[in-house]
Amino acid sequence: MKIDRFLGAILAGIGLLVVISLVLFFTRQNRLEYGPEDTPEGVLHNYLVALHSKDFNRAYGYLAEADNRPRMDAFQQAFLTNMGNLNTVSLKVDQVDVQGDKAYLTLTLVHASSDVFSESYREPQSGVLEKQSGQWKIRSLPFPYFNWDWYQPTPAK
């Protein structure tokens, strides 16, 4: 009889831990919050938050004003068709080298594994931001956060 009470107490404790874990999991989901925009890292962070929040107007505002900038509808369509790619990769800023009005970022893309037996893999990448009218603007980032053809010169015909 004493062993049954002890086993019951252990099972009740395990059940309580499971309930607490579930409550914490559902109430503390990753909340994406915008931060300051006075550094290249801050602008990049806010750009990523805007993309994941599907606030394409705000994300588009972080792009540099330059020749061959994508149109807003093309920008939005690029992410609506590739949104699955954003959910399987994350971006880590390793180093920022500011040289005048340009910031060169050394980045690491971390790709999620495709199954439970594989590990995620890391891919070194780079990005460039430039200061325009006193604000940092994105000039280039790796795919899937940026399309390769944005800001590229149109070939002469």
The predicted model scores a pTM of 0.76
57-103 pLDDT tens trace: 999 999 999 888 999 999 999 888 876 678 888 889 999 999 999 99
60/10: higher pLDDT:
60
Whether 98 and 92 have beta carbons less than 8 Å apart is answered as no
Q: 60 Cβ partners below 8 Å, 6+ apart?
A: 72, 75, 76
pLDDT at 112: 84
pLDDT at 30: 63
Distance between CA atoms of residues 59 and 57, nearest Å: 6
pLDDT at 155: 61
Task: Give percent helix, percent strand, percent coil of the chain, each to the nearest 5.
Answer: 40, 25, 35
Average confidence score pLDDT of the chain: 87
Distance between CA atoms of residues 53 and 33, nearest Å: 10
Report, as an integer, the average pLDDT of 42-62: 94
